[in-house]
Amino acid sequence: MKLSMIILFLIGATSVYGQKIQSNNYGTTGYVNADGKIQDASYRTVGYIKSDGKIQDNSYRTIGYIKSDGTIQDASYRTVGYVKSDGKVQDASYRTLGYVKTDGTVQDASYRTLGYAKGVDKTWAAVVFFFFFFNG
């Protein structure tokens, strides 16, 4: 009985804190929760990705959109980039910015590892790393 309680607690803790966003040296830079809440390493909310594709900052101000075809737009509906089905991330001019691999590894255009987003939807990972949140 105690083992099952521990397992339930661990599952609950994972869903509360979400999936880690890590730097290339595995330092935690943030979290992406299943509900789309994006938090920094100190669990402060920095933004949201809504189920309708709306991207918001921590004040719920719309800063962008994710379209069903992988097009990423800013708040004025201008295309800022694309996330292809194979994980390739491109800017609005179709220049390759990087890649989100199936294992969650995020790489720049030269295949250098930028970080890790294991278990995070590839489009959400691209938004976090390349477009709106932890892109420096």
Two tokens, residue 75 = 């708040």
Is 39 contained in some domain? Answer: yes
Is 30 contained in some domain? Answer: yes
Two tokens, residue 42 = 């100190």
pLDDT(39) > 60: yes
Is 11 contained in some domain? Answer: yes
Number of H-type helices and E-type strands within the chain: 2, 12
pLDDT(128) > 80: yes
Q: Which residue range(s) make up the domain with 69?
A: 2-131
Count of domains in the chain? 1
Residue 10 is predicted with a pLDDT of 41
Left if phi > 0, otherwise alpha if psi is -120 to 50, otherwise beta: which for 120? beta
Residue 2 is predicted with a pLDDT of 43
Residue 18 is predicted with a pLDDT of 77
Is 105 contained in some domain? Answer: yes
For 63-114, what is each residue's pLDDT tens digit?
A: 999 999 999 999 999 999 999 999 999 999 999 999 999 999 999 999 999 9
Residue 44 is predicted with a pLDDT of 94
Mean pLDDT over residues 14-42, rounded?
Answer: 86
Q: Which residues is 28 bridged to in the sheet?
A: 22
Is 74 contained in some domain? Answer: yes
Is 136 contained in some domain? Answer: no
Is 73 contained in some domain? Answer: yes
Residue 133 is predicted with a pLDDT of 78
Confidence of residue 135 (pLDDT cuts 50, 70, 90): low
For 4-26, what is each residue's pLDDT tens digit?
A: 333 433 444 444 457 999 999 99
pLDDT(3) > 60: no
Enclosing H/E stretch for 55: strand 54-57
Is 40 contained in some domain? Answer: yes
Residue type, 106: V
Residue 17 is predicted with a pLDDT of 53
